Amino acid sequence: MAFLKTVGICQIYDGRDILKNIDLEIDKGEVFTLIGPTGAGKTTLIRILALLDKPCSGSYYFDDTELTGSQSLQFEARRRTAYVQQRPIVFTMNVFDNVACGLKWRHIQPVVIKKKVNDVLELVGMADYWNRNAKTLSGGEIQRVAIARAIVTQPEVLFLDEPTANMDPVSTAKIENVLELLISERKTTIVMTTHNMTQGQRLASRLGIIINGKLIQTGGSDDIFIYPQNKEVAEFVGVENILKGEVVRKDNGLISIQINNQYVYSVSDVDMAGKVYVLIRPETIVFSSSQNAGSSRNVFKCRVTRINTIGSLVRIEVDCGFTLLGVVTTDAARELNISLGKEMYASFKATATHVIKI
């Protein structure tokens, strides 16, 4: 049985549907990350899961107990969780006392409080700041104090809303290190939202995509980023080659797809027919000066229409009857003598494609 479960959760603000029939299950000990565009409903959903807001309709189960309509059950469940908001608030007191608040409110013995607070300050890298006024800390330091304050009570579930939003790379790295330690050492169930898709991939065991208030897809990193279920998810996670075509033949798992006057071949065990989108990751495309493409089934003569160098990589856009974007290293670009208007060959394997039905 899922540790956290929602059934048909909906939320409406000012006549707008913010969440639409959210069905979600999160297992105990799982790190689950919600990603999606700004305004998609991520914060609304995590606040409902953290029992800070009530949904307009639907049911919420916490550890196999339905909480809907019961104030006492919600209160008991809330004591087993902790929530860190996007812009946490610290009290006008030193770091130690800020972190100790939750334990004092629970009437824990002072000697136990001292040990617990010192342990979590060590964990988040703030042990040397124990006597600093929390109001004088930087944004990244305040976030680490907020996380320490949340985990010192040893919650069963930790909710994090955009834990590194608007932080510089150094502060972001420090917060991520804290979360990695928390995940590996404490096995806490963590539910977080983030705009940082790389962060979501790195930290989460499973992700959920929310777009326009709907939970579109859940799954592991590969499920989301390599095998998105529809065009909306593909565009959001940055798939840049999304080609519209039509299946014209199927032969033992090999699909032939007509795109303009060309044919792309894809390996798929899905029963495809009619119009589809073919997704091709730029890094899977190989460019060469000759037609010999090894084991690649898809080989196209093309002409370079755009070149853009970013650091050590070169993004190449070519016309091969349809537009295709690929990526090579600067060394490879020099070896191929790539230039605007140059004719060459682009190839990719049938297994490097992903097909979704329109």
**Positive or negative, the Cα torsion across 219, 223, 227, 228?**
positive
Of 181, 176, 182, give the one whose Cα is nearest residue 201.
Answer: 176
For β-strands 31-35 and 206-211, DSSP reports them as: parallel
Give the integer Cα–Cα distance in Å for 282 and 304.
14
DSSP string spanning 176-241? HHHHHHHHHHH--EEEEE-S-HHHHHHH-SEEEEEETTEEEEEE-HHHHHTS-SSHHHHHHTT--E
Whole-number pLDDT of residue 287:
93
SS3 97: helix
Whole-number pLDDT of residue 189:
92
What's the alpha-carbon Rg for the chain, to the nearest Å?
25
Would you say 26 and 200 are in contact if contact means Cβ atoms under 8 Å apart?
no
- Ordered per-residue pLDDT tens for the chain, 358 residues: 799 999 999 999 988 999 999 999 999 999 999 999 888 999 999 999 999 999 999 999 999 999 988 899 999 999 999 999 988 889 999 999 999 998 998 889 999 999 999 999 998 889 999 999 999 998 889 988 999 999 999 999 999 999 888 778 888 888 888 888 888 877 789 999 998 888 888 889 999 999 999 999 999 998 999 899 999 999 999 899 999 999 988 888 789 999 998 999 998 766 667 899 999 999 999 999 888 756 788 999 999 999 999 989 999 999 999 999 999 999 999 999 999 999 999 999 999 999 998 8
Whole-number pLDDT of residue 293:
57
In degrees rounded to 5, what are phi and psi of residue 174?
-65, -45
Would you say 17 and 210 are in contact if contact means Cβ atoms under 8 Å apart?
no
DSSP code for 358: -
Cβ neighbours of 335 (radius 10 Å): 11
Cβ neighbours of 330 (radius 10 Å): 13
The number of CA neighbours under 13 Å toward the Cβ of 130 is 14
Query: Exposed, middle or buried, 205 (CB in 10 Å: 0-12/13-18/19+)?
Result: middle
- The percent helix, strand, coil of the chain (3-state, each to 5) is 30, 35, 35
